[in-house]
Amino acid sequence: MRIGFIGLGLMGSRMATNLLRRAGYDLVVYNRTRAKAEPVLDLGAIWADSPAQLARQVDLIFTMLAHPEAVKQMALGEEGFLDALPPGAIWADCSTVNPSFSREMASQARERGIRFLDSPVAGTVGPATEGKLLFLVGGGPEDVETCRPLLEVMGRKIVHVGGHGQGTGLKMVFNLLLGEAMLAFSEALVLGRALGLSRDTLLDLLLGSAVVAPFLNGKRQRMVEEEYAAEFPLKWMRKDLHLASLTGYEEGIALPAVNVAKEVFALAAGDGLGDEDFSAIYQFMADKAGLDQSQAKASYGRDE
């Protein structure tokens, strides 16, 4: 079996590397900018000059792209791969996109005799490197089984969530929880600091308690050092909250907290924080509150 991989960014390059090293299959790759493909080419991957050219050589194609528009362009744009795949091939889209888009891609694939899975991942660069991602998969049971051995090369756990769009649906649910928790925690810290509690006291008391999500421990260092190296860029969090908002509209449901979080992240992006880690929303709230390191008030005796 020959495998194709399109999208060799931060995540995709690591996933492709694991396929190369640990699966023992030939891997044909394509990326919009070729330079980003060099590391996997050095490891033995084969370059294709277009998505279509790649598709003609493979039975299974993985995509790991930034947003629905990018997926659509690769699949259905000029020299797109969907018309070039051999009938019966499988396309597993690992991108974080909205469920209705996944269902549309499933439908486009089916019309061409291609099998489709939406198989987005939970986990960041670290787990991607170690092959320990969590795959949330939507699609037919047989297709999931066909892909499982390959997914297991890249991930520690494969959850077959349901039909098409339910893998990306669950991913969206995870991400809105991340975004809202990060914003709520930021507001909590800023309020506490404004009341004279030190940031460290607050972090000590809140992190590890039952009222905050455990992933926030992993953001502590960034908030303390006020350096927000991007594990998950703020602009993609904005995108994911947008996709959740869009899905809420499509499904006819109200999501007020999602929508407000979306707009607060949008304001932060407007302040130039889009490429920082999404935990930089704390910095945005702290800046607007006029808080900085030097202004940390003594934690005792405020009113004496």
Considering the rule CB under 8 A, would residue 271 count as an interface residue with a copy of itself? yes
To which residue do tokens 């050589």 refer?
Answer: 57
Around Cβ 161, how many Cβ atoms within 10 Å?
A: 20
Phi, then psi, of 60 in degrees rounded to 5 = -145, 135
Considering the rule CB under 8 A, would residue 293 count as an interface residue with a copy of itself? no
Query: Cβ 40 to a copy of itself, closest distance in Å?
Result: 29
Binding mask 77-96 for a copy of itself (x = CB under 8 A): --------------------
The interface region with a copy of itself, picked from 2-10, 49-57, 80-88, 169-177 by CB under 8 A, is 169-177
Q: Give counts: helices (H), strands (E), the chain.
A: 13, 9
Identity of the residue, 180 or 276, whose beta carbon is nearer to a copy of itself in the bound complex: 180
Query: Cβ 65 to a copy of itself, closest distance in Å?
Result: 18
Cβ 22 vs Cβ 131: under 8 Å: yes
**Terminal-to-terminal C-alpha distance of the chain:** 75
Q: Which one of residues 41, 184, 207, 296 is an interface residue with a copy of itself (CB under 8 A)?
A: 184
Separation of alpha carbons 200 and 293, rounded Å: 11
235 catalytically annotated: no
Residue 195 makes CB contacts below 8 A (sequence gap 6+) with 302
Amino acid letter, 194: A
Among the listed residues 72, 132, 157, 171, the single catalytic one is 171
Q: Which one of residues 27, 52, 75, 178 is an interface residue with a copy of itself (CB under 8 A)?
A: 178
Q: Which one of residues 269, 273, 276, 278 is an interface residue with a copy of itself (CB under 8 A)?
A: 269
Token couple for 145: 């089984």
Q: Which one of residues 188, 207, 220, 231 is an interface residue with a copy of itself (CB under 8 A)?
A: 188
Tell me how many residues contact a copy of itself (CB under 8 A).
84
Identity of the residue, 35 or 211, whose beta carbon is nearer to a copy of itself in the bound complex: 211
Token couple for 248: 């809420």
Phi, then psi, of 97 in degrees rounded to 5 = -130, 180
Q: Which one of residues 78, 252, 293, 294 is an interface residue with a copy of itself (CB under 8 A)?
A: 252
Identity of the residue, 24 or 252, whose beta carbon is nearer to a copy of itself in the bound complex: 252
Considering the rule CB under 8 A, would residue 173 count as an interface residue with a copy of itself? yes
Residue 141 makes CB contacts below 8 A (sequence gap 6+) with 160
Phi, then psi, of 275 in degrees rounded to 5 = -90, -5
DSSP 142-169: HHHHHHHHHHHHHEEEEEEEESTTHHHH
Token couple for 65: 């792209």
Handedness of CA 213, 215, 218, 219 (dihedral sign): negative
Identity of the residue, 52 or 161, whose beta carbon is nearer to a copy of itself in the bound complex: 161
Query: Cβ 192 to a copy of itself, closest distance in Å?
Result: 5
Separation of alpha carbons 122 and 154, rounded Å: 12
Q: Which one of residues 87, 290, 293, 294 is an interface residue with a copy of itself (CB under 8 A)?
A: 290
Query: Cβ 193 to a copy of itself, closest distance in Å?
Result: 9
Q: Which one of residues 213, 220, 231, 296 is an interface residue with a copy of itself (CB under 8 A)?
A: 213
| Residues in 214-233 at the binding interface with a copy of itself, rule: CB under 8 A | 214-215
Which residues carry out catalysis? Answer: 171
